[in-house]
Amino acid sequence: MALKGRLEDFDITKLFNLVHLARKTGALTLERDGKKVTLYFKGGKLIYAIKDSEEKGILNLLFRAGKLSREQVREIEARSRLKSDKEKALIAISTGYLSKEDVLECLQRHFLEIVYELFTWQTGAFSFEPDVLPDGDKLTVSIDLANLILEGTRRQKEWEILQEEIPDLDMALKFTENPRTAIRNISLTVDEWRVISYINPQNTIRQIARYNSMSDYQIRKIVYGLLSAGLVELVPPAGAPKAPPPEIPPALQAPPKVSKGLVQRLIDRIKRL
Amino acid sequence: MQAVKIVVTGPFNSGKTQFIRTISEIEVVSTERKITDEFRSIKEQTTVAMDFGRITVDENLVLYLFGTPGQRRFDFMWDILSEGMLGFVVMVDSTSPQTFREARYILDIFRRYAKVPYVVAANKQDLPDAWSPEDLRIALRLNSNVKVIPCVATNKESVKRVLLELLYLVLEILEEG
């Protein structure tokens, strides 16, 4: 019988704890705002993850991770008849392009990214179907949940901070006019450069994330780093309709009408104190 | 008699009450209460509604200083206190980097309440671990045109300087028309 519920009542940490401690085998599906993630567990360990029914494909993951070149991907695709990830990975390994460890590490990183994002889900529905496993042609890993829960919880806290710092992904970015640090003198990661290359008041942060296939968490983290370094600043996107003024009672919107003479009297008085 | 108001805001334990107490000519009307939550270890009492100080300029003009409660659960008071203010001071405890994010949040909220001049007071500059005003500017992501003034809220001259900087700013804006 499926375990069903809502994350509002039983959060992701508790769910993982349950799977971990009860050494469960089966598929956990989580859904929120049209997004769907399915995680597969065997004996309490994470073995496979899929987001929005989107199979990234092992070759695509290896290419994005820089483990395979575009030509190598094309060659393996041409040689593979069954088109299963398992077969493609075996061809890649047997041709000596990479090792089995490279494949597993890449898959593991991909699955973990899917899982860590779930720690930012405060709401949504979940359902656990016992004894359901991924198809036999899928490449699986074995990830211990204890460390995953610890890291996820840490990210959850980080996420809360990032959300406060960058509450609106529909804002754009622009380079600061007088950056505190010259951009040439700092070391940026590949992902940071990918974001930098799209910085333009016409691109919202959400669009930049989409172009770069980054999650909300990833883009927020990078933008937060760039903001903290004083390299960029948040601006309303160019061409966007002006935001309606905040709903503030009229009495609060304008400063009191005072004369220069009155302010000068205040200054004189404070100086004499 | 005309009355004008300056609001002194900032995170919990940033020194707002002390700031007003140092300059006010009357005993500060404070509504401090015993703290009942996790902040107890930092401070025995905190402001739950407001502090209220006064400086009489002459028989026709009086300046009131209002301190806001520092804990976010009392933030419903902020817009009430900010009504009709001439400007505001954001107090920051320069020795407490864990409160800088809260200070930035408060600053953003007050800027939304009213487009009035403000200054940031980098308080507790007499303590050994105090961040310099320039470091605070970076930490709070403040533009170079925002005045960050070193402050020791127990020192009258220091408090006067903060208020004067704010009033100079008000005057400057009035002169610009």
Q: What pLDDT sits at residue A49?
A: 94
Residue of A nearest to B173 (CA): A260
* Portion of chain A with pLDDT greater than 70, in percent: 87
Distance from CA of B94 to the nearest CA of A (A): 18
- Checking if the pLDDT of A238 tops 60, the result is yes
Residues from chain B that touch A252, judged by Cβ atoms under 8 A, are 79, 82-84, 113-114
ipTM of the complex: 0.86
Put simply, the answer to whether A273 touches B4 (Cβ < 8 Å) is no
A235 touches B at CB < 8 Å = no
Distance from CA of A229 to the nearest CA of B (A): 9
Would you place residue A129 in the very low, low, confident or very high pLDDT band (cuts 50, 70, 90)? very high
Q: Which of A231, A234, A262 to mutate to test the interface with B (most CBs of B within 10 A)?
A: A262
SS3 of chain B: helix, strand, coil, percent, to 5 = 40, 30, 35
Selected residue with higher pLDDT from B42 and A92? A92
A264 touches B at CB < 8 Å = yes
Full 3-state SS string of chain A = CCEEEECCCCCHHHHHHHHHHCCCCEEEEEEECCEEEEEEEECCEEEEEEECCECCCHHHHHHHCCCCCHHHHHHHHHHCCCCCHHHHHHHHHHCCCCCHHHHHHHHHHHHHHHHHHHCCCCCCEEEEEECCCCCCCCCCCCECHHHHHHHHHHHHHHHHHHHHHCCCCCCEEEECCCCCCCHHHCCCCHHHHHHHCCCCCCCEHHHHHHHCCCCHHHHHHHHHHHHHCCCEEEECCCCCCCCCCCCCCHHHHCCCCCCHHHHHHHHHHHHHC
Q: What pLDDT sits at residue A205?
A: 93
Distance from CA of A54 to the nearest CA of B (A): 38
Q: What pLDDT sits at residue B154?
A: 97
Put simply, the answer to whether A267 touches B175 (Cβ < 8 Å) is no
* Portion of chain A with pLDDT greater than 90, in percent: 26
A182 touches B at CB < 8 Å = no
Q: For A150-189, how does the pLDDT look when each residue is reduced to its tens digit (9 = 90+)? A: 999 888 888 888 888 888 899 998 887 765 555 556 677 7
Per residue of chain B (177 residues), what is the pLDDT tens digit? 788 999 999 998 899 989 999 999 877 665 555 555 555 555 555 555 567 788 999 988 989 898 887 656 556 667 677 778 999 999 999 998 888 888 998 898 888 877 899 999 999 999 988 888 988 888 888 888 899 999 999 999 999 999 999 999 999 988 887
Q: What pLDDT sits at residue A244?
A: 47
Give every CB contact of residue A265 below 8 A, 6+ residues apart in sequence. B57, B58, B61
